[in-house]
Structure 1
Amino acid sequence: MENVDIHTTPALVPPPGITPNLQNPYSLERYIIATSVICLFLATSATLARTFTKAYILKKMQLEDYSLIFSTSGFAAFTAVIVAAGEDGAGRHQWNVSIAMTQRIGMYANVVEILYPPLMFAAKFAVLVQIQRIFTAHKKDFIYWSVLVLIAANIVMYATIFFVFIFACNPREKIWMPHLAGKCLSVNAAIIATGVMNLVSDCTILALPLMGISELQMPLKKKIGAGAVFATGVL
């Protein structure tokens, strides 16, 4: 690395017949920005609508409301980091990105990985507590205890993910500068494990309200309608 200018050297050798373009290459940046803005707009709009209803109409803010506000606020920071990574070359072919840009993208990626666990836990915590309030207001049944177990499991899961990505390498700089001497955990394995645990967690949280609706004393048609509302969580 001593004899290489990391600001002008492509981060990857291009395929045969392809010339690296570090100045004005094709990029997915505009799609990254558009997707990020749309997702942030939808999440913020939903949170603002809920907060307005709870704070000004019902005048009853609860723990899950503050958890949701925290999650949405953090999602704004999460989105800002993704957009910043796009400005530094995320969304380009790697041979159209300099080594220096790739290092910054790697640093942004690690920041996103660290932001993700507490924000996702806060969002799921809000959903779980809301499910508990709706379906177990006067009894401690299967759903009540399931919610507590899921909250505890998600705390353990996301805390583990959080610290794995903070201490992925020793020294930390090796995360985005792999040529440095040191040791790293398998980040790919951590990402795959995160995806699997998220899928299990999401499916379980989705199933709880459907189970609660199935036990309600109401006509089947109304059960299907109520279940459809909660089933939008599939999205």
Structure 2
Amino acid sequence: MATLDLNLPAGLPPDGVTPNFENPPNNNALAWGVLLLCQVISTICLVLRGYARVFLLRKFNAEEAFWGCSYAMFKIIEVPGFFVHQWDVLLRDVIPMNYNVYIYGQCYSFAMPFLKIAILIEWINIFVPGGFDRRSIFFWGCSFMIFIQAAALVGIVLALNLQCRPHRAIWDIRVQGDCFAISKIQISSGIIFLISDIVILLLPQHIIWKLKLKTSKKIGVSIVFGLGLLACVCAAVRLSDTMKLVHNTNDAVYFIGVVGFWAFAEMTCGFFICCLPCIPKILHDTGVLRSIKRKLGMNTGTTAPSSANRYGTNGSSSRRNYEANHSTSYYKLDEDGVPMTTIGGTQSTEYLHGGQNGSDINQPTLPSNTRGAHSTVDKASSSKAWRP
């Protein structure tokens, strides 16, 4: 068997182009800047999420164990570099590059599905408290997407590891082996992740616009949960560059870096979205929000009704402000003059305050003479408890 000369160029240059093996043109400076920015954002988000769940909520889930796959990206900067054409790379440099791409693919295939599963579980806890409303389209949509992500994780990881026999032939061009092309897997994974990003972006919007909030607040909440649009853009560009990689095998080294670039950006968006629900609680419980309000000259006092001001009007006034609606089997109450009391939990997220877990909520209480067969307020509030 002839020995492979590793000092040959990895690809043939176009006509009139002279290979540059010593200092090939690259965009490593751009890669360093973007990767470091993404790494800093991802790390901050993971630290904030870990602090909120472990120290504030006293909870720890398995998704916090997946911290990213930046190691392989920074190794690719060393050899051969980002945005380097294949004819400027020697065959001996292709081996470590292939290995780092293999490591990156493994980590990415684990991290992205688990990030999306973590996001979906978080949203189920927010919009379907306790997970009891199994008739909800939102609940079943999230459950279906969780299944898709888990199946994609298993399928992609198995395919990446079984693409060559022996296993070392995956990255070592000196080893002869029986391999199958993974181009279809690359394209399929790109399509799956793009569609899942779009579905995750759209899932909560229907519920948000059904909330009993002012339109301005609905728009604000919708924008916050719509930040997944950034992940959709990154996934779309990544899929486009994957198609270019598949159809430009003569310059695969160049497009591999580009695909990894956008995949890393998509992962950063996932970390940010996963961390987003924890930020308000951290700002509140650590006193940062109070300090900001104080510096801006805003009122920092609690907006919750005190025990002395818990009843807007006297009892006789509240008794005059309700009327029975027998056709719908519930009592309609006016907003004014409704006595307020603090209960342990409720499905309402309209007004939250108080305890560490945000479970103390002010809820209107029916006068005693209305607690009969037609009153469903207490049953609804006691059957499903809100939790973050």
Q: TM-score, normalised by structure 2?
A: 0.55
2:58 maps to a residue whose letter is K
Aligned mates of 2:91, 2:22 — CA distance in 1:
14
**CA, structure 1 residues 143+16, in 2 after alignment: closer, same or farther (shift >3 Å)?**
same
Aligned mates of 2:215, 2:20 — CA distance in 1:
61
Question: Which has the larger helix fraction?
Answer: 1
**CA, structure 1 residues 155+82, in 2 after alignment: closer, same or farther (shift >3 Å)?**
same
Question: Which residue is equivalent to 1:196?
Answer: 191
Aligned mates of 2:2, 2:32 — CA distance in 1:
35
Question: Which residue is equivalent to 2:89?
Answer: 97
Aligned mates of 2:3, 2:143 — CA distance in 1:
57
Q: Which moved more, 1:153-162 or 1:141-150?
A: 141-150
Give the gaps of 5 or more residues in structure 1.
none
Alignment: residue pair count: 226
- SS of 2:227's equivalent? helix
- Residue 110 of structure 1, aligned match among 102, 107, 115: 102
Q: Which moved more, 1:90-99 or 1:170-179?
A: 170-179
Q: Which moved more, 1:186-195 or 1:42-51?
A: 42-51
Question: Which residue is equivalent to 1:230?
Answer: 225
Aligned mates of 1:110, 1:96 — CA distance in 2:
21
Aligned mates of 1:143, 1:62 — CA distance in 2:
24
1:1-235 equivalences under 5 Å are: 2=2, 4-6=4-6, 8-56=7-55, 58-63=56-61, 66-67=62-63, 69-71=64-66, 73=67, 75=68, 78-91=69-82, 92-137=84-129, 139-140=132-133, 141-178=136-173, 180-235=175-230
- SS of 1:215's equivalent? coil
Q: 8 Å contact 1:70–1:119 — kept in the other structure?
A: no
Aligned mates of 2:39, 2:215 — CA distance in 1:
36
Aligned mates of 1:11, 1:27 — CA distance in 2:
16
Superposition RMSD on alpha carbons, in Å? 2.0
Q: Percent identity?
A: 25
Question: Which residue is equivalent to 2:242?
Answer: none
Q: 8 Å contact 1:90–1:105 — kept in the other structure?
A: no
Give the gaps of 5 or more residues in structure 2.
231-388
**CA, structure 1 residues 15+26, in 2 after alignment: closer, same or farther (shift >3 Å)?**
same
Determine which structure has more spread, i.e. the larger CA radius of gyration: 2
* TM-fit CA distance, 1:85: 1.6
1:89 maps to a residue whose letter is P
* TM-fit CA distance, 1:134: 0.5
* TM-fit CA distance, 1:3: 5.2
* TM-fit CA distance, 1:104: 1.6
